[in-house]
Copies of this chain bind each other. A is one copy, B any other.
Amino acid sequence: MSVSSPAIIPLSESVQLDATTLTPFPHSRKIYVEGSRPDIRVPMREISLSDTQLSTGEIEHNPAVTVYDSSGVYSDPAVKIDVRQGISDVRSNWIIERGDTEVLSTVSSRYGKERLDDSRLQSLRFAHQMRTPRRAKMGRNVSQLHYARQGIITPEMEYIAIRENQRIETLSVADLANRHQGESFGASIPHVITPEFVRAEVARGRAIIPANINHPEVEPMIIGRNFLVKVNANIGNSATTSSIAEEVEKMVWSIRWGADTVMDLSTGKHIHETREWILRNSPVPIGTVPIYQALEKVEGKAEELTWEIFRDTLIEQAEQGVDYFTIHAGVRLAYVPLTAKRTTGIVSRGGAIMAKWCLAHHQESFLYTHFGDICEIMQAYDVSFSLGDGLRPGSIADANDAAQFAELETLGELTKQAWQQDIQVMIEGPGHVPLHLIKENMDKQLKECDEAPFYTLGPLTTDIAPGYDHITSGIGAAMIGWYGCAMLCYVTPKEHLGLPNKHDVREGIVTYKIAAHAADLAKGHPTAQVRDNAMSKARFEFRWQDQFSLGLDPLKAQEFHDETLPKESAKVAHFCSMCGPHFCSMKITQDVREYAKQKGIVDVKIAVEAGLAEKAEEFTAQGAKLYR
């Protein structure tokens, strides 16, 4: 993204996305599946495959593979992208139709008004800044949970059902049968997701749809253990680095690689304006940690935070359209001393801020005491809770300790309180946990929080690999996803060392897409294995281009292949540079398969009986070629 100095050319005129962010993936096509009404158009990515040349000379058609697509209109060549205008609106009709909201004359927050009145910010503002926010009518609750409990299937719910199914109806019985059953540890993923199932899961509190009424651009998605495991990417500037334009670019970059939600964790300058730019361009839910901005407002002095400042921040952000708030309401005064003997104390920024406040005031945190008031704000905009784990362990040594689990019990109590007010809730989780203690985390969360979705950072399974923490944590993420975690917060290679760049974001997201997919496979998700099977078939048949196209990162796969065999002819070669032509086991063994197939031999007993003792000469006479 090229950015001129904001002092000279306003961002609203200068910002453009880097072309590489929009480069289409090879052989992928954006499609939309229409729902029960024409304005329900669910985006998916269709990967077309080449035909298989059978040894008989016949052609076998390989059906296209449809995959979940979080990349929004950025991957639709039919849509003209202009980040200065924002992306088109998906949900406004649905929100208006419900008749339970009203458009405000201006923003409600004191801070929002100040920013609006500050003419020095003009050059930084998103062009459409002047849109006015929407809020629930007095006494109404506009959360998807509220609708779900009234038995209402919203368009958002139908959209999600279509999205989660990934066109399962186009798959053959054989395609669906070729999969492992999985072990889901008590999850119950249906074969086909119906809109009613979505509603029921939301009503039960077992899934959430983060979708603020002020973020109509969002393409609805769901987070819950009975749906595909999701991935979150964190972006955000800090005092030392990054600019507004870079953050928008990072958001688009994140969803390109598969991030299902994005958290804007900015802590530097112009948090308010940065967020507006991100929201207006984001088709995925945006989460924030409002306490970060509140702290900026008191110039970094935690002890000067007040409920009033925090409340104003919640309203400011809710009216911009933030879909979920991380709120560390479980950091209770009495738990702070539990961290005293820890190796790494409190490692959550929000947790640390609140702990400092609690000690400074020797009072219970205002997030805890005002939890009911927070719920009232959330329900007026449908902001979901992401109850923060302020006391998560920051080292293997501190995993699963008294502080962590005491907070988790409080999060369980707060979950029930939020549910009483029909507010959607998910729960954040650790952190740093050795392999053998991961399941205890998941099991305790399910129990304490009554299956409210779990949303974990990693966990990192060892502390000793800075520079590779996407991997130390990707291991833990795959496992906890399998055990029942609904969304995995990515970790990049820069974790513990610095702010991630675009390369790190890509590495982090792809690693977490791997973890999420490995979890879906292990849980026995009905369609998860279709893509693996298509990849494996392409691999066995040396359809190199199809292998690249089906991968989570088609560009890197092709780049790696071409490093040693760059010629076009190598794309149809029956080997790669790893083993060379002589030693390709796939090449040798296609023969075996064909041979046995012709003999109709499928198991040991039959094999022996069918006369594998038949003359060797017969085989050799055919030129010892097993492919015929």
List A residues 604-626 near B (Cβ within 8 Å).
604, 606-608, 612-616, 619-620, 624, 626
Which residues of the other chain, B, contact A616 by a CB distance below 8 angstroms? 360-363
Which residues of the other chain, B, contact A302 by a CB distance below 8 angstroms? 588
Indicate if A420 sits at the interface (CB-CB under 8 A): no
Indicate if A602 sits at the interface (CB-CB under 8 A): yes
Closest residue of chain B to A562 (Cβ to Cβ) is B498
Indicate if A580 sits at the interface (CB-CB under 8 A): yes
In contact, A578 and B497 (Cβ under 8 angstroms)? yes
Cα(A497)–Cα(B558), bound, Å: 8
In contact, B466 and A557 (Cβ under 8 angstroms)? yes
Candidates B180, B340, B348, B564; contact of A437 at CB < 8 Å: B180
Which residues of the other chain, B, contact A339 by a CB distance below 8 angstroms? 589, 592-593, 596
Interface centre among A336, A398, A462, A604 (most CB of B within 10 A): A462
Interface centre among A239, A361, A556, A577 (most CB of B within 10 A): A577
List A residues 504-547 near B (Cβ within 8 Å).
510-511, 513-515, 517-519, 521-524, 529, 531-533, 535-537, 539-540, 547
Of A82-90, A112-120, A467-475, which binds chain B? A467-475
Which residues of the other chain, B, contact A152 by a CB distance below 8 angstroms? none
Closest residue of chain B to A616 (Cβ to Cβ) is B362
Indicate if A591 sits at the interface (CB-CB under 8 A): yes
- Could you tell me the distance in whole angstroms from the C-beta of A581 to the nearest C-beta in chain B? 7
Indicate if A3 sits at the interface (CB-CB under 8 A): no
Cα(A397)–Cα(B535), bound, Å: 11
Cα(A561)–Cα(B497), bound, Å: 5
In contact, A494 and B344 (Cβ under 8 angstroms)? no
Cα(A146)–Cα(B386), bound, Å: 61
Closest residue of chain B to A624 (Cβ to Cβ) is B303
In contact, A475 and B515 (Cβ under 8 angstroms)? yes
In contact, A551 and B467 (Cβ under 8 angstroms)? yes
Indicate if A550 sits at the interface (CB-CB under 8 A): yes
Candidates B241, B474, B535, B596; contact of A577 at CB < 8 Å: B241
Q: Mark A329-349, 1 if CB is under 8 A from B, else 0.
A: 000011111111111111111
Q: Mark A542-576, 1 if CB is under 8 A from B, else 0.
A: 00000110111100110111011100000000001
In contact, A180 and B436 (Cβ under 8 angstroms)? yes
Of A92-100, A198-206, A351-359, which binds chain B? A351-359
Candidates B348, B475, B589; contact of A352 at CB < 8 Å: B589
In contact, B178 and A397 (Cβ under 8 angstroms)? yes
Cα(A620)–Cα(B527), bound, Å: 58
In contact, B603 and A337 (Cβ under 8 angstroms)? yes
Cα(A20)–Cα(B449), bound, Å: 52
Closest residue of chain B to A342 (Cβ to Cβ) is B593
Indicate if A240 sits at the interface (CB-CB under 8 A): yes
Indicate if A585 sits at the interface (CB-CB under 8 A): yes
In contact, B511 and A340 (Cβ under 8 angstroms)? no
In contact, B464 and A478 (Cβ under 8 angstroms)? no
Candidates B268, B432, B462; contact of A580 at CB < 8 Å: B268
In contact, A604 and B406 (Cβ under 8 angstroms)? yes
Closest residue of chain B to A345 (Cβ to Cβ) is B589
Cα(A496)–Cα(B578), bound, Å: 7
Which residues of the other chain, B, contact A471 by a CB distance below 8 angstroms? 470-471, 474, 511, 514
Closest residue of chain B to A536 (Cβ to Cβ) is B395
Which residues of the other chain, B, contact A362 by a CB distance below 8 angstroms? 612-616, 619
In contact, B479 and A583 (Cβ under 8 angstroms)? no
Indicate if A307 sits at the interface (CB-CB under 8 A): no
Indicate if A238 sits at the interface (CB-CB under 8 A): yes
Which residues of the other chain, B, contact A466 by a CB distance below 8 angstroms? 535, 547-548, 551, 557, 560
Candidates B333, B348, B479; contact of A612 at CB < 8 Å: B333
Residues of A in contact, count (CB < 8 Å): 154
In contact, A582 and B239 (Cβ under 8 angstroms)? yes
Complex copy number for this chain:
2
Cα(A241)–Cα(B583), bound, Å: 14
Candidates B295, B533, B559; contact of A397 at CB < 8 Å: B533
- Could you tell me the distance in whole angstroms from the C-beta of A57 to the nearest C-beta in chain B? 21
In contact, B596 and A340 (Cβ under 8 angstroms)? yes
Indicate if A394 sits at the interface (CB-CB under 8 A): yes
List A residues 281-338 near B (Cβ within 8 Å).
292, 295-296, 300-303, 333-338
Indicate if A601 sits at the interface (CB-CB under 8 A): yes
In contact, A585 and B352 (Cβ under 8 angstroms)? yes
In contact, B592 and A340 (Cβ under 8 angstroms)? yes
Candidates B497, B499, B588; contact of A346 at CB < 8 Å: B588
Candidates B472, B524, B581; contact of A239 at CB < 8 Å: B581
In contact, B464 and A535 (Cβ under 8 angstroms)? yes
Which residues of the other chain, B, contact A519 by a CB distance below 8 angstroms? 435
Q: Mark A179-218, 1 if CB is under 8 A from B, else 0.
A: 1101100000000000000000000000000000000000
- Could you tell me the distance in whole angstroms from the C-beta of A224 to the nearest C-beta in chain B? 20
Given that A267-B579, A359-B626 are contacting pairs, would A464 and B397 also be in contact in the complex, using a CB cutoff of 8 Å?
A: no
Candidates B346, B592, B606; contact of A589 at CB < 8 Å: B346
Given that A436-B182, A464-B552, A592-B355 are contacting pairs, would A601 and B340 also be in contact in the complex, using a CB cutoff of 8 Å?
A: yes
Candidates B338, B495, B582, B615; contact of A607 at CB < 8 Å: B338
List A residues 447-501 near B (Cβ within 8 Å).
461-468, 470-472, 474-475, 478-479, 482, 493-499, 501
In contact, B607 and A360 (Cβ under 8 angstroms)? no
List A residues 354-388 near B (Cβ within 8 Å).
355-356, 359-363
Given that A406-B604, A475-B514, A521-B396 are contacting pairs, would A344 and B539 also be in contact in the complex, using a CB cutoff of 8 Å?
A: yes
Candidates B343, B536, B589, B595; contact of A540 at CB < 8 Å: B343
In contact, A347 and B498 (Cβ under 8 angstroms)? no
Indicate if A597 sits at the interface (CB-CB under 8 A): yes
Indicate if A586 sits at the interface (CB-CB under 8 A): yes
3 smallest CB-CB distances across A and B, nearest first, come from: A395-B536, A340-B596, A239-B580
